[in-house]
Amino acid sequence: MKYYKQISDDTVISYGISDTIPEGAEEVTKTAYTKIVKDQDAVDKAAANKRAAAAEAARQAAEQAAAERKATVDDWIAKVTAGTSTLANVPEEYRYEVQEATDPTPTNRELHESLESTQEAVDFLMTE
C-alpha cells in the first residue's frame, strides 16, 4: 500500500492509501500521511466548533428576540386589559396577538371549528 497526497495552491486537496498513486498525486511517507490526517482532523474540529458556536449564538439571539416580543405583547395586553390603552394604540406588529388575548369575541377560525365539530356530531347521530 502506498500513501499519497494531492496538492493545489499549497493546499492538500486529497490524500489516501492505495495500491497505485492517482494521477496528479505524489507519494508520501506513512509519517507524513499521519500528519496530514491529524492536521485535517484539527481543521475539521475547528470548523465544527465554529459552526456549533454560530448555531448557539443564533439560537440565543432568537430566544432573546422571542422573550422581548413576548414581554412587549404582555405589556400591551396588560395596558388594554386595564383600560389604559386601546387596541388602536397597539403597534400593528403586536395587534393581532393582543386582540386574540383581550377580545372575548370568538374568531372566525374558532367559529368555523365549532361549526365543523357540531356538524360532525349531527352527522354521527344521523347515521345511528
Distance CA 16, CA 37 (A): 9
Among 67, 77, 71, CA closest to 97: 77
Confidence of residue 125 (pLDDT cuts 50, 70, 90): confident
Q: Which amino acid is at 19?
A: D
Residue 42 CA from chain centroid, whole number: 26
Number of structural domains the chain divides into: 1
What residue numbers bound the domain in which 53 lies? 2-127
pLDDT tens digits, one per residue of 30-71: 999 999 999 999 999 999 999 999 999 999 999 999 999 999
The stretches of the chain forming alpha helices (DSSP H) are 30-82, 92-102, 108-127
pLDDT tens digits, one per residue of 65-117: 999 999 999 999 999 999 999 999 999 999 999 998 888 776 666 777 778 88
